[in-house]
């Protein structure tokens, strides 16, 4: 056999994988192989692989007899929508996708290449954790990944796609990235598995109940998205990449939408009830004002009382943060604050302007919230907004009470422009609560307390809660017709497109934890 034939044979062996039986076993679990996944993620024919022929050098425990090519991870680069991205994919057919020294070095290399090239990094995770046979060198490999995740944070977009198990320390790499996608039934994430939980606490629980896609997308908030199959999951990864810049020095890609910037939003008059206590779905408002009604919601299943989404307005990508009165009246709580803060920080890191839609009755009261740290955890959202230097435009639709009004990107914490609808009520608290505090003695002493209370409520509302009170004091730039919302926001963002704002010289801030 000449050298070219030998090379062809070796390359074919590496591309084929360990055996047809191993491939069939992977498919039997409802999972694709690493190369099949890469084929769905990247533009057809664009993948260039690196270190295909890498093999481990470990000895002992029978490893010297088993040295497959790739060492259980496929690495390289390609394009998504014509733009370069880097990818690594665990091959569960080889050592269960477990990470050893050579495996880790391949990942380190592709991460370094992504950072140097200024291009997004996508990890397709399907591995059994550290390769036990290689001991501490496997653990050191994870340390190198975590360090690179942290160094690239805010520099290039990092996306983790969970397509199989991810246990122990391995779960910290996805947690350090910007977005986590999971597939129901086949992907799980946990620090300690069901066996350890059973041994330590006596609790009986399945892998999916402990760390499945719906648990992390709806309860823990670890996962941003959950899907029924790998195909739809990877299609949405492609969609998300189409909304993001390649790195923190670029702007998100502009795309002509055909939706007129000056389009009147007449439907908003009916979508949002004028009565402050009535519920509605903020998603319908967002759908009305963005290009062609299309937006990509982040964390749709977790903390639904705040809505975070990426969308386009006049073809330009914006990040939208909005209270959603459909869930818990749109109140801010621990989870909503953390969800909003993380999203604001991401948008600020990657030059995505922020549009904040405000309809908030305040922070959620209660012993659980106070003991759970609503002060420090609610401060995360405040810190994120105050620290953001991208264009920031806020709009008060109805209620904006107390500290929650300040936190939701009010003018006082640095919003570039603040608008309000005529239905806005900006105040320390609702008129009923305010009247009960200010006039409590007078009401209590009155022969007809209910009548006096009603009169005092109206007095407070007339004096301090009319829709022009904040505008008269320069805290709102304009009170606008709801039908003009889209055009007003687009004009404001266009004016702010070249905004330059610096922060004081410092190593880094110390955000609330």
Catalytic machinery residues: 168-169, 403-404
Residues 396 and 181: their CA atoms lie apart, in Å, by 32
| Residue 430 to residue 461: CA distance in whole angstroms | 9
CB 409 within 8 A of CB 385: yes
Gap between the Cα atoms of 162 and 178, Å rounded: 13
How far apart (Å, rounded) are the C-alpha atoms in residues 390 and 109? 32
Strand, coil or helix: what is 220? helix
Cβ atoms of 285 and 436 closer than 8 Å: no
How many of the other CB atoms lie within 10 Å of CB of 308? 24
Which CB contacts under 8 angstroms, 24+ apart, belong to 404-407?
404/331, 404/332, 404/360, 404/361, 404/362, 404/363, 405/358, 405/360, 406/382, 407/332, 407/337, 407/378, 407/381, 407/382
Judge contact between 332 and 407, C-beta under 8 A. yes
Bridge partners of 167, per DSSP, are: 190
Token pair 């690495």: residue: 75
- The DSSP code for 219 is I
Of residues 272, 382, 385, 378, the one with CA closest to residue 331: 378
Rounded to the nearest 5 percent, the helix, strand and coil shares of the chain are 45, 20, 35
Q: Is beta strand 73-80 parallel, antiparallel or unpaired with respect to 83-90?
A: antiparallel
Residue 6 CB partners (closer than 8 Å, separation 6+): none
Query: Whole-angstrom Cα distance, residue 147 to residue 131?
Result: 19
């Amino acid at each position: 056999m000449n050298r070219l034939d030998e090379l062809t044979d070796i390359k074919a062996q590496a591309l084929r994988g360990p055996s047809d039986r191993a491939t069939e076993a992977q498919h039997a679990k409802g999972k694709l192989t690493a190369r099949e996944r890469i084929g769905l993620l990247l533009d057809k024919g664009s993948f260039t692989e690196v270190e295909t022929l890498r093999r481990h050098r470990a000895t002992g425990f029978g490893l010297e007899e088993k040295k497959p090519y790739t060492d259980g991870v496929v690495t390289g680069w390609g394009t998504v929508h014509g733009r370069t991205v880097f990818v690594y994919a665990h091959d569960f057919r080889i050592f269960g996708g477990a990470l050893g020294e050579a495996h880790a070095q391949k990942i380190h290399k592709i991460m370094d290449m992504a950072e140097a090239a200024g291009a997004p990094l996508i990890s397709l995770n399907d591995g059994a954790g550290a390769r036990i046979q290689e001991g501490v060198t496997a653990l050191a490999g994870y340390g190198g990944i975590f360090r690179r995740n942290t160094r690239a944070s805010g520099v290039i977009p990092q996306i983790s796609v969970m397509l199989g198990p991810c246990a122990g320390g391995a779960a910290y790499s996805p947690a350090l990235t910007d977005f986590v996608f999971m597939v129901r039934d086949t992907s799980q994430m946990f620090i300690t598995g069901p066996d350890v939980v059973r041994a330590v606490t006596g609790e009986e629980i399945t892998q999916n109940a402990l760390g499945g896609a719906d648990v992390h997308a709806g309860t823990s908030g670890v996962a941003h998205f959950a899907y029924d199959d790998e195909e739809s999951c990877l299609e949405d990864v492609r969609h998300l990449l189409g909304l993001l810049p390649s790195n923190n020095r670029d702007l998100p890609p502009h795309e002509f939408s055909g939706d007129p910037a000056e389009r009147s939003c007449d439907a908003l008059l009916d979508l949002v009830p004028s009565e402050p206590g009535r519920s509605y779905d903020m998603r319908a408002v967002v759908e009305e004002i963005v290009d062609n009604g299309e937006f990509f919601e982040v964390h749709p299943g977790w903390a639904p009382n705040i809505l975070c989404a990426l969308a386009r307005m006049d073809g330009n990508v914006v990040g939208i943060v909005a209270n959603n009165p459909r869930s818990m009246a749109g109140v801010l709580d621990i989870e909503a604050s953390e969800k909003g803060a993380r999203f604001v920080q991401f948008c600020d890191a990657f030059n995505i302007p922020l549009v904040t839609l405000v309809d908030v009755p305040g922070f959620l009261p209660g012993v659980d919230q106070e003991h759970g740290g609503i002060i420090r955890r609610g401060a995360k959202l405040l810190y994120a907004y105050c620290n953001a230097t991208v264009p920031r435009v806020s709009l008060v639709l109805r209620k904006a009470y107390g500290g929650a009004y300040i936190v939701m990107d009010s003018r006082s914490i640095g919003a570039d422009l603040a608008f309000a609808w005529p239905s806005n009520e900006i105040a320390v608290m609702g008129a009923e609560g305010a009247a009960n505090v200010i006039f409590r003695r007078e009401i209590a002493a009155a022969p007809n307390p209910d009548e006096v209370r009603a009169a005092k409520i109206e007095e407070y509302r007339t004096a301090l809660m009319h829709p022009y009170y904040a505008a008269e004091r320069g805290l709102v730039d304009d009170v606008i017709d709801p039908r003009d919302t889209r055009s007003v926001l687009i004009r404001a963002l266009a004016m702010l497109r070249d905004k330059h704002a610096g922060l004081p010289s410092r190593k880094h801030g110390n955000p609330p934890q």
